[in-house]
Every structure is written in C-alpha cells, then in structure tokens.
Amino acid sequence: MGKRLAGIFWALLFLAVPVFGVATFAIAPAYDHWLPKDVSEHGASIDSLFYFILALTGVVFVVTEVLLFWFMWKYDAAKQQGGATYIQGSHTLEVVWTIIPAATLLFLAIYQMNAWADVKMRRPAMAPTVEVVARQFEWRLRYPGRDGTLGTADDLFLVNDLHLPIDEDVLIQLKSMDVLHSFFLPNVRIKQDAVPGMKIPVWFKAREAGEFDIVCAELCGWGHYKMKGRITLEPRASFDAWLERKYAEQQTTQPPPESPGDLAASN
C-alpha cells in the first residue's frame, strides 16, 4: 500500500509539469509578462507564427506529458499482479510517428519562409534613411541630410536618439566600428547583428507612433548592458520637423566630426 501511494505521488508530480507549464503561459500575459507591444507591419506575421508554434508545441507537450503521467499511474509495479507486456516495438507506430511529425515540421518550415523573406530578403529599393554605426557602447546615427545621400558634407550626426517616420518603408544601413553588436528593437520585432567590415541593410514599416527601446543583443564587452538607445517613431511631418531642428542645431553648435568615427563610417 505504501508503495502504491509512492507511485501515485510520483505520477502526480509528473502531472504537475503540464499543469504548471500551461498555467504559467496562461497567467503570464495577464501580468504583462508577455510579448511587448508590436508597432511594425511585419510583426504580426512573426507574432502569429509564435502563437501558432506555441499552440502546436503546447498540444504535443500536454499530450506527451499526460501520457507519461498516465503510464506511471497505470503501470506502477505496486498495482500490477502479472508481469510487464513483452513488446519489442511496432512498425506501424514507428511509421505513424515518423510521418506525422515529419509532415508537420516540413509544413512549418515552408509556411514560415515568406515571413522570413519579408523581413530579411525583400529589401525595398531605396536609399538608406539612416546609417546606424554601433560601437562600444553607443549607437551612432548618421542621417543623409538635405541631399539625401550618405557620406556627403551635409550629413547629420547623432547618438542613441533614433527618429524614423511611420507608415512608410525605412531602410537602415547597419555597421559596427569595433566588435559585434546586435540592433534589437523589441517593439518593431527587428534584430540584426552589426558586424565590423559589413554593411547590413535592415528595413521595416512602422504602423504606430511611439518611443521605444533600442537594445544591444550581442555581447559587446563590459558595458553591453547599458548600450541603450531610444527609437522615436512619428508621422512624416513631425519627423521632418525634428530632422530640420537637429540639422539647425548641428550647423550652429558643432563641426562635422572627423576620424575615427568618420573613417569607419565611410569605408
């Protein structure tokens, strides 16, 4: 009897895994411990894929964990009179549980390609809206200025304070001066490593105005944790006004910076 109680105890402990697992995911959004607000156009396809995989894996998780619990409950040695069933396997079952996951995984693989291509492959044909140059431990920004071309004398230089217009495609040219960094905009569902020696294009279209975090998501040294920037998404008119204001400020207060930042930014 004691042995049977022990078996029940252990089976229930394993049942707690799916119970608490599902509960954790169910409760977390209510406490705002969940995907941060998304303001991008492509973000919906990423989030819906996340939910789709969550549902799919959630079902597999619950079914397999409950089966494990059920077997522990039912086939407890303390409960059984006879011996174990002598089964070495089942060809049919092997085929079934190979084909079904294979088809599901293949479907998942093909299903998501489009979303990936939108974010990383179908680059809009346009000149860069801004160049972001990462360095330990700041985000250096360079707007093309009035002539719309990067690398000319009227470029606008700023640090950590990125402004971009909403409701239109923006193209960021991402670089790094020193080590690896990663340009992470949680609310725009964008992440891209900045690699020294490479110019990497990053693009998106924001749907909503607001001010959000820029986070560095690739270890870049002791100050990695405070490599923080802010991104302000605003309508075109106020974006243009902001650009003009910053441009006027630069004209009066500072000469265009020379090397080494310039050196790295122009190669």
Neighbour tally for 54: CB within 10 Å = 12
Please work out the total of residues on this chain that contact other proteins, with binding judged by CB under 8 A.
104
Query: Would strands 229-234 and 161-165 be described as parallel, antiparallel, or unpaired?
Result: parallel
Distance, in Å, from the CA atom of 49 to the CA atom of 60, rounded to the nearest integer, reads 17
132-161: which residues touch other proteins (CB under 8 A)?
135-136
> Of the listed pieces 11-19, 147-155, 160-168, 245-253, which binds other proteins according to CB under 8 A?
11-19
> Which phi and psi (to 5°) does residue 183 adopt?
-85, 105
Would you count residue 226 as binding other proteins (CB under 8 A)? yes
Shortest distance (Å) from residue 128 CB to other proteins: 16
Would you count residue 66 as binding other proteins (CB under 8 A)? no
> Which phi and psi (to 5°) does residue 257 adopt?
-65, 145
Shortest distance (Å) from residue 151 CB to other proteins: 15
Options 168, 224, 242, 247; binder of other proteins; rule CB under 8 A: 224
Would you count residue 57 as binding other proteins (CB under 8 A)? yes
Would you count residue 220 as binding other proteins (CB under 8 A)? yes
Kindly provide the b/e burial profile for residues 86-116, where b requires at least 16 CB atoms within 10 angstroms of the residue's own CB. Answer: eeeeeeeeeeeeeeeeeeeeeeeeeeeeeee
> Of the listed pieces 112-120, 147-155, 159-167, 249-257, which binds other proteins according to CB under 8 A?
112-120
